[in-house]
Amino acid sequence: MMWTWAPWLFPLLCKFSLAALPAKPENISCVYYYRKNLTCTWSPGEETSYTQYTVRRTYAYGQKHDNCTTSSSTSENRASCSFFLPRITNPDNCTIEVEAQNADGVITSDMTYWHLEGIAKTEPPEIFSVRPVWGIKRMIQIEWIKPELAPVSSNLKYTLQFRTVSSTSWMEVNFTKNRRDTDQTYNLTGLQAFTEYVIALRCAVEGSKFWSDWSHEKMGTTEEEAPFGLELWRVLKPAEADGRRPVQLLWKKPRGAPVLEKTLGYNIWYFPENNTNITETMNATNQPLELHLGGESYWVSMISYNSLGKSPVATLRIPAIQEK
73, 102, 120 - which closes a domain: 120
pLDDT (mean) for 15-19: 49
Its domain, for residue 46, covers 26-120
Q: Are residues 149 and 203 both part of a single domain? A: yes
pLDDT tops 80 at residue 64: yes
When pLDDT is cut at 50, 70 and 90, the band that residue 127 belongs to is: very high
Inside any domain, residue 132: yes
pLDDT for 74 beyond 50 = no
pLDDT at 224: 78
184-198, 234-248, 254-268: least confident range: 254-268
User: DSSP secondary structure string, 179-192?
Assistant: TT----EEEE-S--
Residue 170 has pLDDT above 60, yes or no: yes
**Which CA distances in Å does 284 have to 226, 264, 271, 304?**
17, 9, 17, 9
For residue 33, how many other CB atoms are within 10 A of its CB? 17
Pair 133, 58 in one domain = no
The answer as to whether 159 is a domain residue is yes
Window from 12-26, 55-69, 78-92, 218-232 with minimum mean pLDDT = 12-26
Tell me the mean pLDDT in the region 111-124: 93
Amino acid at 78: R
DSSP 244: -
User: Does 21 map to a domain?
Assistant: no
What pTM was estimated for this model as a whole?
A: 0.66
Domain count, the chain: 3
Same domain, residue pair 138 and 99:
no
pLDDT at 185 over 90: yes
